[in-house]
Amino acid sequence: MKYPNSKNMSENTYNTIIVGGGIAGLTSAAFLARAGQKVLLIEKNKECGGLVNLFTSDGFHFDAGVRALEDAGIIFPMLKDLNIQLEIVKSPVSLGIENEIIHIENLDSLLKYRELLIKFFPESEGEIDKVLKIIRKIMKHMDVLYGIENPVFKDLKRDRAFLFKKLLPWLPKFIFTVGKINRMNLPVEEYLRTFVKNPSLLDIISQHFFKNTPAFFALSYFSLYLDYFYPKGGVGKLSEAMKNKITECGGEIRTETKIIEVIPDKCLVRDQNNITYKYENLIWAADLKTLYKIADTEGLFPEIKTKFDESKKKMLKNRGGDSVFSLFLEVDEPPDSFGKIANGHFFYTPSKLGLGETHREGLNYLLANFEKVEKEQILTWLDKFTRLNTYEISIPVLKDPELAPPGKTGIIISFLAEYDLFNKIQNAGWLDEFISELENRVLNVISDSVYPLLKDKTITRFSFTPLSIENRVGSSEGAITGWSFQKSMPVINKIQIADRSVLTPVPSIYQAGQWAYSPAGVPMAILTGKLAADRVIKKMKKLRKT
């Protein structure tokens, strides 16, 4: 279907403009283009995908952002709805502490996890059993939440079988489960502390989650480990497939185009070359603080302007959540040498001691007294931080043998990192030195523990910091999953009202992506992208009728 006035629109006028070609923006654009709208997707980088991306270096393929995907009842239904065929493989996960590694294969692996924890914390068997009981309970809730294909991607008018046989019987269970999970919204550290008294155990369970992650979300990770899959060719193939779908459906994509001004009363956006584009609807699928900073609201109706200004205050007061540091290694060693140790997606903690409060307290002290502290103090802190941390290690070639030159292996080692530390060090003028010190320490820790062969066999190394993420995708504080978890979240954070998350105070502007709903990640970015597209389609249909 073509929208009646699409044909008559002047060159730079669109039914819907989507700003941000990450997975959220790609989703919105794909569904709107399929619906026959005149659509323009604007992306500031050369390539689309945002944090769902891949790049190649010396023949090694690396995932630049997320390392594997979770369906979460969202990604597969979305692909099916758009008729996109994506070749995928499972992305099995291993978990390791010091020299013990387990491979997560199915629900029974939870027992292996129990044994692993008991081996290191035999005195805390009772506490471990309590944690596992909760994880099991959460896994049951997750089975309900993700138990059916997300109805947002179903045509409920036509697919009566889904409506009557799946959706309606599922709804009461869903409502019951939502009630349960909303009661587990407090920060995971706080939640676990009520029954885990051993601080090292608490750290080992929780230190690779973002600070203050809601307990339900954090402890659902065991379910997610079983859900991970990997597109052949790399995670970025998902973005590529979406991009192709948009163009196939007649949507337009403009890359290397950065929006620097939004003028809502005139329905215009302006790019870095001073070119303006006119829209009927705008979907902002990029950093939300940016939208509020660059919007010129002078011409808006007073009540809309007031609401917008209130939202702006809330947004600008809040921060992006934790960011990540990633070390990329090109290694002259065949994949098998790594494959016999752990799977290609591996969460590894080299020391059972755990980061402890010294990490946050120590870091907070360094940040608060940055002008006074010596470089040596920061590097001493860094020693401890790298020794006691948990690492997400990804080896793409173990998931797809095409992803490295023959006989060689590319490895990505990452961990949560504090944006402010990198920012302050950059301002103090020694960022390159700090990065090199950090890379050395990470390499030493990992080669002294799980992969000794890294020491002599690494050919090339380079890394991305929270500042690189901020620069590349324009994400506030280098955040990778939107807002930091805090008491007053500036966006919707309840699944039962997720459909409202895409609304902004301006009726013609919608929001989508990691900043629109919390907690976020790839599935929620996709879901909000679709919800925003649905709102636009519904509104346009109504308008066309009148």
Ligand X SMILES: Cc1cc2nc3c(=O)[nH]c(=O)nc-3n(C[C@H](O)[C@H](O)[C@H](O)COP(=O)(O)OP(=O)(O)OC[C@H]3O[C@@H](n4cnc5c(N)ncnc54)[C@H](O)[C@@H]3O)c2cc1C
525 binds ligand X (CB under 6 A): yes
Between 69 and 196, name the residue whose CB sits nearer to ligand X.
69
Question: Should residue 151 be labelled a site residue for ligand X when binding is judged by CB under 6 A?
Answer: no
Nearest CB to ligand X, comparing residues 200 and 468: 468
If one asks whether residue 42 binds ligand X (CB under 6 A), the answer comes out as yes
Of 67, 90, 18, 89, the C-alpha closest to 286 is 18
By CB under 6 A, residue 52 contacts ligand X:
yes
DSSP code per residue over 156-170: TTT-HHIIIIIIHHH
Q: In this complex, which beta carbon is closest to ligand X, that of residue 124 or of residue 318?
A: 318
DSSP string, 473-510: H--GGG-SSSBPP-SS-SSB--GGGGGGGGB-SSTTEE
Q: Which stretch binds ligand X (CB under 6 A): 38-46, 337-345, 357-365, 535-543?
A: 38-46
Tell me the DSSP string of 212-268: T-BHHHHHTHHHHHHHEEEETT-THHHHHHHHHHHHHTT-EEE-S--EEEEEGGGTE
The yes or no reply on residue 321 touching ligand X (CB under 6 A) is no
- Smallest distance from ligand X to CB 270, Å: 11
295 close to 270: Cβ distance less than 8 angstroms: no
Check binding of 238 to ligand X (CB under 6 A).
no
- 20 counts as binding ligand X under rule CB under 6 A: yes
C-alpha closest to that of 279 among 42, 48, 529, 21? 42
**Rg (alpha carbons) of the chain, rounded to whole number:** 24
Instruction: Kindly give the residue spans of alpha helices, DSSP state H, lying in 324-448.
Output: 335-339, 356-368, 375-388, 396-399, 419-427, 431-448
Binding to ligand X in span 372-401, by CB under 6 A: none
Using CB under 6 A, which of 287, 400, 477, 534 touches ligand X?
A: 287
Q: Which of 17-25, 119-127, 313-321, 425-433 is the region at the interface with ligand X (rule: CB under 6 A)?
A: 17-25
Report the nearest approach of ligand X to the CB of residue 120 (Å). 25
Q: 254 near 40, Cβ under 8 Å?
A: yes
Which residue stretch of 20-28, 31-39, 87-95, 97-105 sits at the interface with ligand X (rule: CB under 6 A)? 20-28
Q: Contact 83/335 with Cβ under 8 angstroms?
A: no
**Does residue 150 belong to the site contacting ligand X (CB under 6 A)?**
no
Q: Which of 81, 204, 83, 188 is nearest to 138 (CA)?
A: 188
The reply on whether position 285 binds ligand X by CB under 6 A is yes
- Taking the least distance from each CB to ligand X, the nearer of 124 and 414 is 414
Kindly state the smallest distance separating residue 50's Cβ from ligand X, in Å.
2
Q: Is 258 in the site for ligand X (CB under 6 A)?
A: yes
Pairing relationship of beta strands 409-417 and 323-331 according to DSSP bridges: antiparallel
Told to check if 505 binds ligand X by CB under 6 A, we report: no
**Cβ-contact 439, 463 below 8 angstroms:** yes
For ligand X, the binding residue among 15, 212, 514, 518 (CB under 6 A) is 514
467 near ligand X, judged by CB under 6 A: no
- Virtual torsion, Cα 238, 243, 249, 252, nearest 10 deg: 160
Half-sphere exposure of 504 (CA within 13 A, CB side): 29
- 3-state SS record for 50-114: CCCCEEEECCEEEECCCCCEECCCCHHHHHHHCCCCCCEEECCEEEEECCEEEEECCCCHHHHHH
Comparing CB distances to ligand X, the nearer of 62 and 434 is 62
* Using rule CB under 6 A, residue 530 touches ligand X: no
Binding ligand X (rule: CB under 6 A), the pick from 23, 29, 435, 445 is: 23
Q: Is 207 helix (H, G, I), strand (E, B) or coil?
A: coil
The answer to whether 103 contacts ligand X (rule: CB under 6 A) is no
Q: Using the rule CB under 6 A, is 19 a contact of ligand X?
A: yes
How far apart are CB 221 and ligand X at their closest, in Å? 9
Q: Which of 14, 18, 65, 359 touches ligand X (CB under 6 A)?
A: 65
Q: Please report, for residues 95, 242, 345, the alpha-carbon distance to residue 102 in angstroms, rounded to integers and kept in the order given.
A: 5, 35, 12
Q: Is residue 18 part of the contact set for ligand X (CB under 6 A)?
A: no
Cα–Cα dist 30/128, whole Å: 45
Binding pattern for the stretch 473-502 against ligand X, x by CB under 6 A and - elsewhere: xxx----xx---------------------
Q: Compute the distance between CA of residue 39 and CA of residue 15 in angstroms, rounded to an integer.
A: 6
290 near ligand X, rule: CB under 6 A: yes
How far apart are CB 163 and ligand X at their closest, in Å?
28
Q: Does 21 bind ligand X (CB under 6 A)?
A: yes
x/- track of binding to ligand X for residues 420-459 (CB under 6 A): ----------------------------------------
The residue type at 146: Y
To the nearest 5 percent, what fractions of the chain are helix, strand and coil? 45, 20, 35
Q: Which residues bind ligand X (CB under 6 A)?
A: 19-25, 42-45, 50-52, 65-67, 70, 258-259, 285-287, 290, 324, 326, 414, 473-475, 480-481, 513-514, 520-523, 525
